[in-house]
A and B are shown apart, each in its own frame.
Chain A
Amino acid sequence: MANTSAAPAGTAPQDGTRRDFMFLATGAGLAVGAGAVAWPLVASMAPDSATIAAGAPIDVDLSPITDGQIINVFWRGKLIFVRKLTEKEVGDMKGVPQGQLIEPAAFDSRVKKGHDQWLVVYGNCTHLGCVPIGHQGNFEGWACPCHGSQFDAVGRVRRGPAPINLPIPPYAFQTDAKIRIGEEGGKAAA
């Protein structure tokens, strides 16, 4: 770089190196500056602290829910289904062969230990987020009106295009008739 043809004849060689330094320093300054400007612009679009604070755990009273009923609750703006399974549904779901499932998951992994009758799942289809309609479809569970996915009584996907089972939010039983959503084993969700 010190011998660039642009340097006019008679210029001292150190002029070239000074220009090189200016060029590199300016370029580095621009790159750092552009990054310093872009970072807050992008970061400001992330969920803000008020939104995060509003995402604290919630308690749900299970006592009014009757057999077979599904209720809607919201946590962090997300719809959650709380469903009390009937004895028949529990039996049917335990009997589903794993080979028939798109995403194999044992019955025990869908409920909390000792609370076989209670299902807590996110209420948005894992395809594109529509709300599946309860007690519809061929699997005692939900059918999505948007793109035809079907889920069984414990929220396992049985017919695509949804790729995975309805996810289970973090929750824990406080008593037999009360759950806290957003906290698992005494630890708050991130």
Chain B
Amino acid sequence: MKRAGFDTIWLPMALLIPQLMIIAIFFYWPAGWALQSSFFLQDPFGFGSTFVGAENYTSLLGNDQYKRVAGFTILYSVLVTFFSLAIALLLAVKADKVIKGAKTYRTLLMWVYAIAPPVAGFLGILFFDQSTGPLTKFFQMFGWDFKLGVDYNATATAMVIVAVWKQIPVNFIFFLSGLQSIPRSVREAAMIDNRSATGRFWQVTFPLLAPTAFFLLIINITYALFDTFGIIDALMKGEPGNNPMTLVYKVYLDGFRGNDLGGSSAQSVVLMALVLLLTVFQFRLVERRIHYT
């Protein structure tokens, strides 16, 4: 709050009401309801529900399929985060270095940001087409009988590749702006101290970039967990079958197709806890990064 604030009461109330109402109706009510229904077992035909305590949670922990999905989600997040960060960092370092065409490269490398995940997934379907897809042929050269939507590993690979591709622009933008905010004097001092470009990068540039990288780490994990829904949905072509999926996809599948309201709610609550953990990290970071002037 500002020191020189206004004292009126009615105006700020009126200004706050729309936001508070929307949040109450579309956030607090549903979130509370999820928490509540995670302790109930819903009748599949809609005839009431029974209180079952923590049973929905314990049955999650004992469920092999859920464990498999959780395992895939972790692996998926790690792979997507690692590769999209690594590729974006390499490109950002190079784009920061070149003098000619720097702006053109920036444009070319970032515009994919605007493509929707399911659209990216649809492009992926064509690239991984069983008989004509160029990437399918590429994998077949190594003797891998690549079958999207049939073979678990093939579908998983395609999901990772498309998700990485879609996330490179965001990481690139943040890394580039992080690099450009490193003062010229620091770079020049580093130039004198260390003649090897690689050495300079790891000893000077990278540590200065660490806050950006850490912030991006959380952004990327969140992306892999939630925003890749469209990619996953597109690449499994509407048939979950034996295909890999993330935790969010399973919430959707169990809740909307399987009608397992209690189980799905329990899964939602588990996810909420997970996100809460991530956000606490993020908040601490944001507070440290931003200085009000």
A interacts with B: no
